[in-house]
A = this chain, B = another copy of it.
Amino acid sequence: MASKKSQKKNQVWLFREGNAQLRDLLGGKGANLAEMTNIGLPVPPGFTITTEVCNDYIKGGKRLPADLMNEVKKALANVEKSMEKKLGDPTHPLLVSVRSGAKFSMPGMMDTILNLGLNDATAQSIIDATGNERFVWDAYRRLVMMFSDVVLGVEKEEFEKIFDHMKKRLGVKNDTEVDAENMKKLTQLFRDHTKKRLGREFPTDPMEQLQLAISSVFDSWDNERAKEYRRTEKISDDLGTAVNVQTMVFGNMGDDSGTGVAFTRNPSTGEKKLFGEYLMNAQGEDVVAGVRTPVDINELAKQSPEIYQQFEEACATLENHYREVQDIEFTIEKGHLYFLQCRSGKRTGPAAIKIAVDLVNEGLISKEEALLRVPPEQLEQCLHPRLKERPASRAVAKGMNAGPGAAGGHIVLDSATSVRRGKKGAGEKVILVRRQTNPDDLGGMLSSEGVLTSEGGRTSHAALVARQFGIPTICGCSEIAIDLKNRTVTTKSGTVLNEGDWITIDGTEGIVYTGQLRTEPPSITGEFKVFMDWADTFRRLKVRANADTPEQATEAITWGAQGIGLCRTEHMFLGDRLPKIQKVILADSDKSRQKALDELLPLQRGDFIGIFKAMGDRPVTIRLVDPPMHEFLIDIEQKTREEVMILRLTKPGSKVLAQKEKLLTKIESHHESNPMLGMRGCRLSIVFPQIVEMQVAAIIGAGCRVKKKGGNPHVEIMIPLVGVDKELSILRKQLDNVSKATMEAEKVNINYSFGTMIEVPRAALTAHEIAKEAAFFSFGTNDLTQLTYGISRDDAGTFLPIYIAKKIIPEDPTLSIDATGVGRLMKICVTEAREVNPKIKIGICGEHGGDPRSVVFCDSIGMDYVSCSPRRVPVARLAAAQAALGADERDK
């Protein structure tokens, strides 16, 4: 994270002084503006104030460094000289934009001011020069509104109300219908409103405007919206934002002017074709905000072939220069093309893979670079279910396919409801349906299964977020009308959907269906397969899956799992088998216990036969029963307690009451004050070996039967919660006898071994003892993390979120391995286990096994494999490849 030392100590850099390598210092936008300037693209001149100034500003109690404005004035003079205009000059006034620009793009999160430098005098001068009075007053009223909102804190909505009121009075609908005279009036009304609200005049000194705007951009680094975005994206709060001050060019100077955004390739699909939109006679914010529906970029070829060709060539230059897809903002001012920004284009998972594979095929990048370019988390986006049925009768609307994948859920009409009912709240499946989304909707979007907007195009906020977070999304679906008052969505055909109704959206095709539709899992084919094959050739770590059923095992193989790292067996005691395990636990005699166990044996054996068949000769690690017994007794406890209460009233003193009371006491004897730290795992098996003996008989019996049918199962039996070597040696010996007896009875031998989970800190600390007894170790990092921190996930909800918010811990250690603490134990364990048992296989089966950063950590300490949920297998495969290619913690 160490920011590169600046080559010069300046706080302010002219565009031509920088380059793309200086992202830490100049931010992404500033560095790219510098780079574009230097490779000869038409970029309006300007300068960048560094991120270091931002950090100084925030540390210094939000005060600009004393000498900053002098440096700004020097750089400005340079720009003014090249433009032959001056900021605030009444005859040749320069107008500038002031924009944020952090190292990592945070679209829409921070503030921007356009048209800065306008006041009555300079406005008149530009009117004189351009003869376009309406344009100038429009620009001026925009400045007043934007500046008042962003810098002075008077909300934009208040100005929009004034504008709406004027339009109503004039009897017009669109902004463009308001003439110059009224725009001038509007400017004055806006200035009056600001004065009324703040008790001071709107600042008309351009240098004062500039200074306030710079402070305001720095302030916006610290606003709540930006902070939440950084938390989600795991961007450090210490980076700061740069400020870019750039000569204004105008896309709204008439029909020979325009503005747009474009990607050099399709960011949804990865297709190699310009992708984007533009609007003639408009400013950039009109495109991004989705207020006017923009035109496909390919239309420009017809409308202005010359400019289109110039644009296309510049795009090719940029892609070749950066060897990466670019996301470009451009403006055409009176027939002149200007580039205002370029950056790596955000894309969906499928697009990321296609682009990476294509760039390798085009010879632009190596396979290694391709693998390092795709964030592993994005692969899950390639695993969105697809619709299995597409009934035309239930298709009610069509829009733009902005985020691929199918999703279904209850309609919610605002983000607050989505947060309350959706993933981040009650856990219902919801589809957020909005006219358009803005940065404040981020929480609501992340809490929903999918997003549907009635306005805005492929580059609207909703589409952008959809691509970045892989949310199935349909944009600009003008065939629906949203009525927020009556909380309904009405389709063109007249179908009225209420908030709460279920809809299914197909983000791949852009079609909205009513009700719930069946989906099917995706598969790894085409470029995805090519890409994953590359990953496999580079990675050192093996990848297994956690799977408890034959179905999960089969799915895991589809995603490329090389074995099962964790097959939990306690699930096999639930459902209609629950009464049987309850009989085992509550048996009054060894005989009745054995009878219940004898009933369970063939059922468990059946489970394992299914799994072994599915897995072929791949290793299958089966964990013996782990949870405290009380977990199996919750329903019977409730039932018995009620029965006892009723019997006490109805049949006091009866024999049946006495029996039930005795049963209740027996059940209650399994209560524990801290069940996580109690009688479970191998402790249970030491004291009460009958259950695991049955399980091992079932496992080995299943293995034998599959082998006799021509299979070749590879069985690894895992004894959980070991903290002392003798726990393992005693149980291993005991269970090995069961294995041998079972194989003898089945008259066939199979490949099996015993190992343990490392989930108790002491196990890691005494690995040099335990490893002598084990063929394999599997880190149970869920418990290991909880015990190392002394926290219980069930209870941590009261403080862990606060810890993360206060930055006491950088992130939830139950999600990504805490390398300093837990990771250190793991490292001790791996090193010392191998010293006494060089052949020991070491893996991880905690949920961290599917977290890319944790996978990189596992690789770094020399583990043999990771195991994760089936759907995370591709993620882990890529993360493992990146680890082998030297990816360290990403530079955030």
Q: Is A762 an interface residue (CB 8 A)?
A: yes
A807: chain B residues within 8 A (beta carbon): 726
Contact B724 A678 (CB under 8 A): no
| Chain A window 114-131, contacts with chain B (Cβ cutoff 8 Å), 1 for yes, 0 for no | 000000000000000000
- Whether B809 lies near A726 (C-beta < 8 A) is yes
A825 within 8 A of B: yes
Q: Which residue of B lies closest to A794 (CB)?
A: B673
What residue of chain B has the Cβ atom nearest to residue A818's Cβ? B762
Copy number of this protein in the oligomer? 2
**Is there an interface contact between A672 and B795, defined as CB atoms closer than 8 Å?**
yes
**A790 in contact with B723 (CB, 8 Å):** yes
Q: Are B724 and A808 in contact (CB under 8 A)?
A: yes
Q: A677-B674, A686-B799, A730-B808 are in contact. Are A821 and B766 (CB under 8 A)?
A: yes
Stretch at the interface among A307-315, A364-372, A378-386, A780-788: A780-788
Distance to closest chain B CB from A854 (angstroms): 17
Contact with A792, one of B672, B760, B825 (Cβ below 8 angstroms): B672
Contact digits for A793-826, partner B, Cβ 8 Å, 1 yes 0 no: 0111011001100111100000000101110110
Is B724's CB under 8 angstroms from A759's CB? no
A480 to B748, CA, bound (A): 73
Per the bound structure, the CA–CA distance linking A818 and B317 in Å amounts to 67
Report A742 CB to chain B, min CB distance, Å: 25
Q: A687-B798, A795-B678, A799-B687 are in contact. Are A788 and B808 (CB under 8 A)?
A: no
Q: Give the shortest distance, in Å, between A712 (CB) and chain B (any CB).
A: 36
Query: A494 near B: Cβ within 8 Å?
Result: no
Q: Does A683 make an interface contact (CB < 8 A)?
A: yes
Bound CA span A436–B766, Å = 48
Residue A509, interface by CB 8 Å:
no
Cα distance A790–B757 in the bound complex, in angstroms: 13
A471 contacts the other chain (CB 8 A) = no
Within 8 Å CB of A789, what residues of B?
723, 760-762
Q: Does A675 contact B (CB under 8 A)?
A: yes
Contact of A686 among B676, B762, B794, B806 (CB under 8 A): B806
Tell me if A679 counts as interface (CB < 8 A to partner B): yes
Q: A674-B677, A676-B677, A821-B723 are in contact. Are A790 and B802 (CB under 8 A)?
A: no
Within 654-696 of A, Cβ neighbours of B (below 8 Å) are at 672-679, 683-684, 686-687
A806 neighbours in B (Cβ, 8 Å): 686, 726, 730
Contact of A726 among B683, B766, B790, B808 (CB under 8 A): B808
* Cβ-based interface call for A727 (8 A): yes
Chain B: which residue is nearest A783 at the CB level? B790
Q: Please name all residues of chain B whose beta carbon is closer than 8 Å to the beta carbon of A574 when the two chains form the complex.
A: none
Name A705-722 residues within 8 Å CB distance of B: 721
Nearest CB in chain B: distance from A823 CB, A: 9
Given A730-B806, A821-B765, A679–B759 Cβ distance below 8 Å? no
Contact A787 B799 (CB under 8 A): no
Task: From A789, A822, A824, name the one whose CB has the most chain B CB atoms within 10 angstroms.
Answer: A789
- Could you list 29 A-B pairs, sorted by A, with CB under 8 Å? A672-B792, A672-B795, A673-B676, A673-B794, A673-B795, A674-B674, A674-B677, A674-B792, A674-B794, A676-B677, A677-B795, A678-B795, A678-B798, A686-B802, A686-B803, A686-B808, A687-B798, A687-B799, A723-B791, A726-B806, A761-B788, A761-B789, A761-B790, A761-B821, A762-B821, A765-B824, A783-B790, A787-B788, A787-B790
In the A-B complex, the 9 residue pairs with the smallest Cβ-Cβ separation, listed nearest first, are: A678-B795, A677-B792, A762-B821, A674-B792, A760-B790, A673-B794, A672-B795, A726-B808, A761-B761
